[in-house]
């Protein structure tokens, strides 16, 4: 009997993740996902992260007769399975791997770009998510993506099993909890400057996350950041924090937004202009009220 879907939902994500984190502590770690009719890419990335970074003896049980089971080979890239809307799980530990991942996703979106700046804007989102994991996570990045063409949405998930946000942000800022560290990474003053755009070697913790969070607000999308015992959810312009009983090693950043709104509200404005006027110079309550 099908139990429903594992969806891109913060309450469900928190509940399921706590259950899974308890499971991997056991002597015989098993995670049972039998019966689900749909498993969002977010959960597949988390499962791979747990298996690679926490328990390599983790067993994952899937119902062979469920629709989710037929989907998993596509998101894992198994047995030559491929789909034009899915970028399978990729283990990214080099800049070249990150570029290949971006190229795959650009093919999947079927989004036409008016010029190089528009294409680079889309690349910027993905590359910053991957760079964040590689440079600050201390482990390879685990990345996957899917375009939901019936909804006109794209979802990108990047995770790692490294140091986590608290360890990284606490190097330069006074934070004592994972929640504080994640929120600090989203703040404007942590972001650096426009010199970080388009491949500059100048990097500052939070630059990409701050810009991406503004894209999520502009497109009325969703963004989840999970690290340690904290899950921070940005839904449109609403920021909510959840404290979990169990701690996740490393971090997960997942974003989901409408492609048409991204084009209309960001790209058509001119990405550089949008960054300058809407992100780095315009004062808004949401940006500084974390």
In the chain, pLDDT over 70 holds for what percent of residues?
A: 84
Question: How high is the pLDDT of residue 156?
Answer: 93
Question: How high is the pLDDT of residue 200?
Answer: 39
**Percentages helix, strand, coil for the chain, rounded to the nearest 5?**
45, 25, 30
* pLDDT reading at 240 higher than 90: yes
H or E element at residue 226:
strand 222-235
pLDDT (tens digit per residue) in 260-269: 999 888 888 8
Cα separation, 226 vs 211, in Å, equals 18
* pLDDT reading at 81 higher than 70: no
Question: How high is the pLDDT of residue 98?
Answer: 77
Highest mean pLDDT among 22-26, 94-98, 99-103: 22-26
Question: How high is the pLDDT of residue 117?
Answer: 75
pLDDT (tens digit per residue) in 189-236: 553 333 444 333 334 444 678 889 999 999 999 999 999 999 999 998
Question: How high is the pLDDT of residue 112?
Answer: 65
Q: Are 74 and 86 in contact (CB under 8 A)?
A: yes
For 186-195, the CB contacts below 8 A with 24+ separation are 186/210, 186/213, 186/225, 186/232, 186/234, 186/290, 187/287, 187/288, 187/290, 188/280, 188/287, 188/288, 191/280, 193/280, 194/272, 194/275, 194/276, 194/280
* pLDDT reading at 78 higher than 80: no
pLDDT (tens digit per residue) in 2-20: 468 889 999 999 999 999 9
Domains of the chain: 83-288 (3.30.565.10)
Token couple for 290: 């974390």
**Beta partners for residue 251, in sequence order:** 160, 227
The CB density around residue 283, as the number of other CB atoms within 10 Å, is 7
pLDDT (tens digit per residue) in 108-164: 777 667 777 777 777 888 888 887 777 666 788 899 988 898 899 999 999 999 889
Alpha carbon distances (Å) from 121 to 63, 118, 208, 265: 40, 5, 11, 13
User: Which segment of 53-57, 63-67, 183-187, 256-260 scores lowest on mean pLDDT?
Assistant: 63-67
The chain-wide mean pLDDT, for the chain, equals 81
Taking alpha carbons only, the member of 12, 10, 51 closest to residue 31 is 51
Higher pLDDT among residues 59 and 66, named by residue? 59
Mean pLDDT of 66-85: 70
Residue carrying the six token digits 């990345």:
143
H or E element at residue 250:
strand 238-258
* pLDDT reading at 175 higher than 80: yes
């Amino acid at each position: 009997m099908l139990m429903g879907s594992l969806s891109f939902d913060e309450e469900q994500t928190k509940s399921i993740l706590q259950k899974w984190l308890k499971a991997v502590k056991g002597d015989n770690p098993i995670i049972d996902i039998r019966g689900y009719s749909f498993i969002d890419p977010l959960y597949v990335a988390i499962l791979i992260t747990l298996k690679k970074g926490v328990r390599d003896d983790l067993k994952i049980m899937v119902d062979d007769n469920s629709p989710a089971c037929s989907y998993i080979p596509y998101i894992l890239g198994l047995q030559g399975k491929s789909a034009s809307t899915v970028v399978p799980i990729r283990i990214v530990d080099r800049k070249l791997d990150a570029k290949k991942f971006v190229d795959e996703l650009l093919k999947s979106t079927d989004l036409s770009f008016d010029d190089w700046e528009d294409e680079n804007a889309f690349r910027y989102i993905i590359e910053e998510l991957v760079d964040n994991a590689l440079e600050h996570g201390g482990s390879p990045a685990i990345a996957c993506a899917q375009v939901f063409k019936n909804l006109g949405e794209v979802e990108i998930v990047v995770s790692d099993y490294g140091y986590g946000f608290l360890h990284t942000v606490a190097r330069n800022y006074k934070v004592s909890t994972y929640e504080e560290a994640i929120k600090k990474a989203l703040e404007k003053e942590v972001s650096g400057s426009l010199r970080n755009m388009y491949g500059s070697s100048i990097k500052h913790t939070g630059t990409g996350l701050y810009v991406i969070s503004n894209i999520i607000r502009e497109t009325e999308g969703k963004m989840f950041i999970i690290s340690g015992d904290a899950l921070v959810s940005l839904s449109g312009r609403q920021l909510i924090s959840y404290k979990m009983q169990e701690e996740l090693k490393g971090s997960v950043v997942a974003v989901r937004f409408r492609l048409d709104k991204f084009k209309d509200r960001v790209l058509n404005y001119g990405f550089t202009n949008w960054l300058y006027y809407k992100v780095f110079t315009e004062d808004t309550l949401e940006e500084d009220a974390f």
